[in-house]
Chain A
Amino acid sequence: MKPVVVQELSKRFRDLLAVDSVSFEVDEGEIFGLLGPNGAGKTTTIKILVTLLKPTSGKAFVAGNDVVKKPGAVRKSIGVVFQDTTLELEFTARENLDFHARLYGMGREERRRRIEEVLSLVELSENADQLVKNFSGGMKRRLEIARGLLHFPKVLFLDEPTLGLDARTRRRIWKYLEEFRGETTIMLTTHYIEEAERLCERVAIMRNGKIIAEDSPEALVRRLEGERVVVKAKNPEKLMAAIRELSIFERNGRLEIFVESAEHFIPKLFEIARNEGVSIEEVSVKRASLEDIYVKLTGGET
């Protein structure tokens, strides 16, 4: 059985269907990403997989164990890095790791060796004996990733691993995660497209509790045949109303139109603009990226 198998999973909170009949599988050793805007149901899905929440219906298996029937076996085989920090702030980095290792029943020798190993992995060896409350956000996150890997989990879950971190720290965390690629199966949620594009072998895009697309980032981009035309115009609303193409969005003051062929579309665009009396200031053509498919599928929410 694959390390993560999810079958028609749903979770209802009173009148809100947070996860709506979601199915997917994660392969051994891959980095799998759940990508979607806030409130899409990514975190709820992860919480069900790590046994924090019980599903309303459907099934989920992690490392071969049913998350509802055998939560204990699931907990033994997973590492989790939550969105908000879950460190003991009054403890040093080493004490946090030691606490964790004991919770997972690791012996003294193994504990000592592995703690040094994961500390150097995330480049915190020199800060090992400092209190965590004095750590920066990036250091805390690195420590949590080290802690998540400490007990050799079969699957590592990361909920928005780089949320709120600066660009440099984010790249650093990506570097660590890329180093573990292939060793541990990693499932992460993110609403940063570049994060999914850079790290994930496969991505599932979620919106309103449903998975609306699932594939490798390249295949998703390929699926969006054609090109993206970016237009800056004096009166974009008027132009937008006149263009009949289905995939049109306004972003950063520019109109973005997904078309099969820019060559044929651009003359038509100028014709429409002339008829509507809108003057065009800039036109550019871009090759489609994962971001485009994301915008197209989610309507541009982040």
Chain B
Amino acid sequence: MSEIQGIYVLWLRDVKKFFRIKSRFLGSLGMPVFFLIFLSIGFRRVIIPSLPEGISYGDFVVPGIIAMVLLFSGTFSGVSVVWDRQFGFLREIIVSPVSRAAIAVGRTLGGATTALLQALILLILSFLIGFRVPISAIPALILSMYLIAMAFTGLGILFSVFMHDVHGFQIVINFFVFPIFLISGTIFPISELPESVAIISMFNPLTYGVDAMRFVIFGFSEIDPLLDFAVLLASTIVILITAGFFFSRTEVE
């Protein structure tokens, strides 16, 4: 019981902070909004052979940019455990009766929720440039978005275990988050990639996440949608267990 209350209160903290620090989430929306606008303007006349009739590049790229928000915000909020460690707040949590596993779960759910909220804001903004989602698709869309968010928040927490200060942020962003973003079919179909690169993208959970989102929205997918959800769910679970395991073993000094 107290474990569930612990998870809840950690989740609540992230959500409260999200609504309190408006500059942070407005700032983090800047880049995806520009990507969204300028990619769809710049490539509006480009014809990509692997895209079916009726799906323009502008439509194609919206789920990709939403996935980008989930990836970046999720990883960020996971890695922000490092801040908690540096500013001491982690100790307050660690010496409480709530178990480390529950702490990892609470942080993941909280981080994933704030990432989801940011992505939903972007989705609403995309309606302004003419993007449309069938209403019946919304529950499955939100589910796939939340799974993506959880996977990358969990991964961020896993990174935070091995990072000792905030300087590691830059490494995570440049050498991890960006490659994952670029080789996942977010801004171009993976069928356009040379085979050697396409194989790498098959080991990227985001590839399946974006593909699942596109299937839910357009009915178009490059991978079997069942496989999409299976891989997405499995990788989320594996990441959460791994993150929980390593997080439980860290000594907080």
Contact = CB atoms under 8 A, between A and B. Distances in A.
Nearest to B91: A86
A102 B6 contact: yes
A252 B89 CA distance: 39
A51 B95 contact: yes
A88 interface: yes
Contacts of B5: 102-103, 105
A86 B89 contact: yes
B87 to A, nearest CB: 8
Contact of B88 (A50, A86, A102, A105): A86
B96 to A, nearest CB: 4
Interface string B51-93: 0000000000000000000000000000000000001111111
A95 B15 CA distance: 13
B20 A90 contact: yes
A250 B106 CA distance: 56
A50 B1 CA distance: 23
Contacts of A90: 17, 20-21
Contact of B97 (A47, A72, A80, A88): A72
A102 B92 CA distance: 12
Interface residues of A, dominant DSSP: loop
Given A52-B95, A102-B6, A104-B97, A82 B16 contact: no
Interface string A51-85: 11110000000000000000010011010101011
Nearest to A52: B252
A82 B93 CA distance: 12
B88 A85 contact: yes
Contacts of B90: 86
A50 B21 CA distance: 32
A75 B95 contact: yes
Given A90-B17, A90-B21, A103 B98 contact: yes
A86 B252 CA distance: 13
Contacts of A82: 88, 91
B253 A47 contact: yes
A87 B5 CA distance: 19
B196 interface: no
A100 B92 CA distance: 8
A91 interface: yes
B44 interface: no
Nearest to B2: A105
Interface in A79-120: 80, 82, 84-91, 95, 99-100, 102-105
B195 interface: no
B35 to A, nearest CB: 29
A126 to B, nearest CB: 22
B80 to A, nearest CB: 12
Contact of B89 (A51, A54, A75, A88): A88
A88 B13 CA distance: 9
A110 to B, nearest CB: 13
Contacts of B88: 82, 84-86
B204 interface: no
Given A82-B88, A84-B88, A103 B93 contact: yes
B99 interface: yes
B169 interface: no
Interchain residue pairs A-B with the least CB separation, the first 4: A105-B2, A86-B88, A103-B96, A102-B9
7 contacts: A52-B91, A53-B251, A80-B95, A95-B16, A103-B5, A103-B9, A104-B2
Given A87-B92, A89-B87, A105-B1, 4 more contacts: A86-B89, A88-B92, A91-B16, A102-B9
